[in-house]
Amino acid sequence: MATLDELFDTAQDRLRTAAAAPSSDRAASARQLDQFLSALTESLGLGDKAVRQSAVTKDLLYQLGRAGDAALAAQRTLPPPGAGPTESHLPDALVALHAVRDVIESHRGPDRVPLSAYAYALSTGPAHHYLTRRCSELAWGAAQVASGLARDTLDPSAAAAFGDARQFLSEAALFGREGTRDADPAIGALSPTLPVSPVQADPADRTQDVPANLAEDCDRLSRAAFETLHHRSDHRMSGSDLQQLARWTAMQRLLAGRVLLRVAEELPDEAAAALRESAGALRGSAQAWQKAATAWHRVVDIADPRAHPKLPAPSYEIVRRGEVVRLPQVVPHPATVIAQTAAVRVGQLLYGPQWRPEAATRPDPRGGSEILADARGTGGLASALYRLPAAGWQLALAAPQAVSLARGGLVTDVLERQAPTGRRNHRFRPIHSQQLEALAHPYKAVLPMEQASAKSLLDMAQQAGTPVPRALLDARAHRRLAAGAGWGQADRRSAVGPDRPGLRVQQPQPQVRAQARRRAL
């Protein structure tokens, strides 16, 4: 998925090409230049409407408007554009600029309500200044295009209009760059948010596509976590969904750790030590997720009883009276299916595209050199696997909310865990409030383990000289989510500071306030 930085760079490259080889149809070029400047003006308004535009942004908008008027004046003095196709790269730059709009708008609904945690990253002044700075760079590229048109145009009036456009755009670029030194570079890693709908892994998938496919799965899981945390989805996670989600997530971590250990077998001792350390951190995350899944043992969600204790066969009398009922068939939450798919993808990277978790036998793992070739080195492998704990942190944060929403249908057959009721001769009864707390508590232990795994993988990428721009954006989103959960400020002493080379990221360390548990009745 293309990021904002990549799209802005593509637009800048197309402008550079257009300036070097302008079209022979000047009128068509003037019209395309005006369309590009109009889209550039719209891009400056893509930030949060609640944030007041700075003087630098307002000045850039003013200069872009003047340059657009000059392009229109040049177009009026030239003959109408021809009907044939024009050899210009300005339309390609316009397409890239429209893609910037689509990326930003994908994180908001029709009513401007955020659809992901990353939408909040656009609600700050430095985020607005990032857009202003990148648009000012495009204004400079457009000034070079206008300069080429003014130089090659024979009509004096059109040449003068193109010269005015070049002057306005040059001033806009100059003041835009100088006035946006506080621009937030993390916004450049923003990519389109994907709908929470699973895309199944296929045996025909290429192993070199696993890192990109895994990143998309993690993006879908992040959005599912955000929707759960903020009640933005009509499909709520059931108890069965939460249990299976934790199990598949634990499997992802175990398989990812095995991938690192397999690669470490073919590396020197110093490089292998970092991989083994990250594998150990992922193993800790897997154990934390497995404990969260174990907490659901002997707890059944009657609205979705896919995961339930083994039930005895119905007696003859029950069958004779026709009281045997089938358990309802419930569609699993998409996040559960996506988590399973992500586990399959990591397994494909380790064992090959034909691997499936339900296979009776485990195939021989692929060679470490093959895995590194698909992941583009140890840095690329660390960057790809980092997305797992980054998304898992958000899932663990949202899980207690999902437990609370599902509490009305949770029952248990363990007497000590049942709430006192007047009903008798019932094997399953509603769970006690303390048991509900016991279901949510393990997810809090998952958070620091996921942070440790993410930090270890980022350190591994740093040692390989591979920057992970996404980590800085994740840190912004995680701090915002932690603040929304009512936690304290992050402990930044163990975080990766912005002054460290290769990585500029700070992992949040939210402090969870422990509450005294009430004694059982």
What pLDDT sits at residue 489?
Answer: 36
What is the arrangement of strands in the sheet containing 410-412, beginning at the earlier edge strand? 299-301, 410-412, 429-430
326 versus 512: which is more confidently predicted?
A: 326
- Choice among 418-432, 468-482, 495-509 with the minimum mean pLDDT: 495-509
Query: What are 292-302's pLDDT values in tens digits?
Result: 999 998 888 88
210-268 tens-digit pLDDT: 999 999 999 999 999 999 999 888 888 998 999 999 999 999 999 999 999 999 998 98
Q: How many helices, marked H, and strands, marked E, lie in the chain?
A: 15, 3
Q: Averaged over 312-316, what is the pLDDT? A: 67
Q: How far apart are CA 21 and CA 246, in angstroms?
A: 56
DSSP string, 445-513: HHHHHHHHHHHHHHHHHHHTT---HHHHHHHHHHHHHHHHTT------TTS--TTSTT-------PPPP
What is residue 233's predicted lDDT score, i.e. its pLDDT? 84
% residues pLDDT > 70 (the chain): 84
Cα 267 to chain centroid distance, Å, stands at: 31
Closest CA to 399 of 213, 244, 510, 515: 244
- Evaluate if residue 491 carries a pLDDT over 60: no
Handedness of CA 276, 453, 501, 462 (dihedral sign): positive
Q: What is the pLDDT of residues 359-404, one digit of tens each?
A: 878 889 999 999 999 999 999 999 999 999 999 999 999 999 999 9
Q: Would the pLDDT of 490 be above 80?
A: no
Q: pLDDT value at position 458? A: 96
Q: What is the pLDDT of residues 74-87, one digit of tens each?
A: 989 888 766 555 55
How far from chain centre, in Å, is Cα 52?
27
pLDDT mean across residues, the chain: 85
Q: Is 178 exposed, middle or buried (0-12, 13-18, 19+ CB in 10 A)?
A: exposed
Q: Tell me how far apart the alpha carbons of residues 3 and 133 are, in angstroms, rounded to a whole number.
A: 16
- Is pLDDT above 90 for 177? no
Inter-residue contact 163 to 151 (CB < 8 Å): no
> In this structure, are residues 472 and 505 in contact, taking their beta carbons and an 8 Å threshold?
yes
Helices of type H across 106-195? 125-152, 156-178
In this predicted structure, which of 116-130, 233-247, 467-481, 501-515 has the lowest mean pLDDT? 501-515
Mean pLDDT, rounded, for 38-67: 85
Among the ranges given (25-29, 97-101, 388-392, 512-516), the one the predictor scored with the smallest mean pLDDT: 512-516
| pLDDT (0 to 100) of residue 316 | 67
- What is residue 401's predicted lDDT score, i.e. its pLDDT? 93
Please give the span between the terminal C-alpha atoms of the chain, in angstroms, as a whole number: 54
- Integer Cα distance of 115 and 224 in angstroms: 9
DSSP state of 120: G
Residue 519 has a pLDDT of 34
C-alpha distance from residue 248 to each of 96, 129, 195, 300, 484 (Å): 37, 40, 20, 19, 27
pLDDT score recorded for residue 294 = 93
For residues 486-509, average pLDDT = 37
